């Protein structure tokens, strides 16, 4: 029967490995986060800010407004910017709505449209088998760091070195790469975060069957002992954890936390997230 032949592939913007294979990686991680990964920018060698300006004006402001019959453009523009300012943060719909002058239900409806259009992603909390003291609201992320940079008013890659949202942008980029690594292989996303009500937090948890891999994401180029404070709680809960930090365009896993885990508690070898993606889009 025909319906048995149907396959649905979710293709996001280019992944890091796809740009690397094509020889199109930007010169620095700041330039990469500023440029983003939408194909048209690389295909037509377009200036990122100008393309994102047109993208927001056409798709987000015109098409999305028509879907939801949004009458006040300025309010929707403010909503987009407020979402951008919250990327990497726990979502509070009431606070988001209040900052934009709209109701909780309106903010929820508008956010659902952005989710359906692969503009924003909600990272769900992992609270299975744990107590009620855990935070159970999702975290908000943008799928593309270039669009996020544009909405934050960032006008050049150099600004990212000192921008207050630099850490959130890098975290957004990493989460996006993790998702692309799954989706490009036809797999469903399997990522979560963890936070309790006293502030202990794990940026991301990869679920692999009955095994959980806690991941901490840091924008620093070198490893600091401060990177491990949050994950030491993860070691108590999950046995094994890993820190992801930046080295040029690659995400590297730091070994010191592994070495601090008692040998009897370790798996046979460290497990690192798979960021591979297909060589072509078919």
Q: What is the pTM of this model?
A: 0.79
Q: Is the pLDDT of residue 70 over 90?
A: no
Beta bridge mates, 245: 218, 252
Question: Please, are residues 53 and 151 in contact by the beta-carbon 8 Å criterion?
Answer: no
Would you state the structure tokens that stand for residue 96, as one six-digit string?
């988001």
**Which contacts of 132-139 are long-range, i.e. CB under 8 A and separated by 24 or more positions?**
133/196, 133/197, 133/198, 134/194, 134/195, 134/196, 134/197, 135/90, 135/195, 135/196, 135/197, 137/90, 137/91, 137/92, 138/90, 138/91, 139/88, 139/89, 139/90, 139/91, 139/193
Question: What number is the average pLDDT over the span 9-30?
Answer: 89
Would you state the structure tokens that stand for residue 277, as one six-digit string?
């993606």
Q: What are the tens digits of pLDDT across the range 246-274?
A: 544 444 444 444 444 334 433 344 333 33
Question: Please, are residues 193 and 62 in contact by the beta-carbon 8 Å criterion?
Answer: no
Angle in degrees, CA 227, 219, 118, rounded to 5: 120
Q: How far apart are CA 133 and CA 194, in angstroms?
A: 11
Q: How far apart are CA 225 and CA 51, in angstroms?
A: 40
Residue identified by tokens 């669009």 is 147
Question: Please, are residues 148 and 142 in contact by the beta-carbon 8 Å criterion?
Answer: yes
Strands 211-218 and 242-247 turn out to be parallel
Q: What are the tens digits of pLDDT across the range 150-174?
A: 999 999 999 998 899 998 999 999 9
Q: What are the tens digits of pLDDT across the range 79-126?
A: 999 999 999 999 999 999 999 999 999 999 999 989 988 999 999 988
Q: How far apart are CA 168 and CA 218, in angstroms?
A: 9
State the burial class of residue 151 (Cβ atoms within 10 Å of its Cβ: 0-12, 13-18, 19+): buried
Question: What number is the average pLDDT over the span 189-205?
Answer: 83
């Amino acid at each position: 029967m025909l319906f048995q032949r149907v396959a649905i592939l979710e293709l996001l913007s280019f992944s890091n490995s796809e740009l690397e294979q094509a020889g199109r990686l930007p010169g620095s991680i700041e330039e990469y986060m500023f440029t983003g990964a939408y194909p048209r920018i690389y295909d037509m060698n377009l200036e990122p800010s100008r393309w994102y300006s047109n993208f927001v004006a056409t798709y987000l402001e015109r098409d999305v407004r028509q879907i939801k019959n949004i009458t006040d453009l300025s309010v929707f523009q403010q909503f987009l910017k407020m979402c951008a300012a919250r990327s990497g943060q726990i979502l509070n719909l009431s606070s988001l709505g209040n900052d934009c002058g709209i109701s909780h239900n309106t903010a929820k409806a508008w956010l659902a449209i952005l989710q359906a259009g692969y503009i924003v992603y909600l990272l769900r909390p992992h609270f299975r088998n744990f107590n009620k003291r855990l935070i159970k609201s999702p975290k908000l992320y943008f799928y593309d760091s270039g669009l996020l940079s544009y909405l934050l008013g960032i006008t050049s890659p150099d600004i990212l070195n000192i921008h207050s949202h630099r850490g959130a942008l890098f975290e957004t980029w990493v989460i996006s790469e993790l998702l692309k690594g799954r989706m490009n292989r036809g797999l469903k996303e399997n990522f979560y975060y963890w936070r309790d009500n006293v502030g202990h937090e794990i940026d991301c948890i990869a679920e692999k069957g009955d095994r959980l891999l806690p991941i901490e994401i840091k924008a620093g180029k070198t490893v600091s002992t401060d990177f491990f404070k949050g994950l030491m709680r993860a070691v108590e809960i999950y046995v094994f954890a890993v820190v992801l930090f930046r080295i040029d365009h690659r995400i590297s896993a730091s070994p010191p936390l592994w070495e601090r885990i008692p040998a009897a508690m370790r798996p046979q070898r460290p497990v690192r997230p798979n960021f591979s993606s297909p060589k072509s889009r078919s």
